[in-house]
């Protein structure tokens, strides 16, 4: 899967009973692999049906998914604890700052831009919030990978964005 988004998950009935897994999403397909089980590859579609509510079609099965205020996921009446880690956000968290040169901040998954926190030409610090994108009613603040200057803003507040779409360039 080229241009795929990879996430490390912990999912289960509770935080104490959560199992580790990896989720790789590419356009309308995903591969889900539990650390203690086989991989599953499927096609999917998702549509927001209301605030925090989604209709998810995985191949020929339909699911109702709702995100709760406590950050839990309710799927067809069953509640799950879910912790999602985007490995890209862990890069550069050592003692050194982010890499040299231009770096692009991209949408982690399909969603809608809620707020842009910076302006083109603005100086930013490593880890400073740049943009807030809402996906599945979860707001994700994307941070600057390095200290530098905002070179380009390639989106606007309210815009729908695709997974992997370039949003802001830091120079």
Choice among 89-93, 119-123, 161-165 with the minimum mean pLDDT: 89-93
What pTM, to 2 d.p., does this model score? Answer: 0.50
* Domain edges within the chain: 5-87, 97-170
* Distance of alpha carbon 22 from alpha carbon 34, whole angstroms: 6
**Which residue is it, tokens 């203690």?**
36
What is the per-residue pLDDT across 35-54, written as a single tens digit (0 to 9) for each?
A: 888 889 999 998 888 877 88
Q: List beta partners, residue 56.
A: 46, 63
Does the 97-170 domain belong in CATH 2.40.50.100? yes
Report pLDDT for 87.
Answer: 60
What is the per-residue DSSP string for 107-166? -SSSEEEEEE---TT-EE-TT-EEEEEEETTEEEEEE-SSSEEEEEE---TT-EE-TT-E
**Which residue is it, tokens 């968290």?**
93
CATH of region 5-87: 2.40.128
What is the per-residue pLDDT across 65-116, written as a single tens digit (0 to 9) for each?
A: 988 766 688 999 999 888 777 665 544 433 334 456 788 888 777 889 999 9
Contacts of 36 (CB under 8 A, 6+ apart): 19, 20
């Amino acid at each position: 899967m080229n241009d795929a988004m990879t996430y490390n998950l912990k999912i289960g009935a509770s935080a104490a009973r959560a199992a580790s897994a990896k989720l790789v999403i590419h356009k309308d397909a995903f591969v889900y692999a539990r650390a203690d089980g086989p991989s599953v590859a499927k096609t999917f579609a998702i549509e927001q049906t209301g605030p925090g509510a989604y209709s998810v079609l995985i191949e020929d099965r339909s699911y109702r998914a709702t995100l709760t205020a406590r950050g839990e996921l309710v799927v067809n009446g069953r509640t799950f604890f879910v912790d999602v880690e985007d490995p890209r956000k862990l890069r550069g968290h050592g003692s050194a700052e982010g890499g040299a040169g231009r770096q692009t901040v991209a949408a982690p998954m399909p969603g809608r831009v809620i707020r842009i926190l910076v302006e083109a030409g603005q100086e930013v610090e490593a880890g400073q919030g740049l943009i807030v994108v809402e996906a599945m009613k979860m707001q994700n603040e994307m941070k600057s990978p390095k200290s530098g200057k905002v070179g380009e803003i390639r989106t606007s507040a309210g815009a729908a964005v695709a997974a992997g779409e370039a949003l802001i360039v830091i120079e």
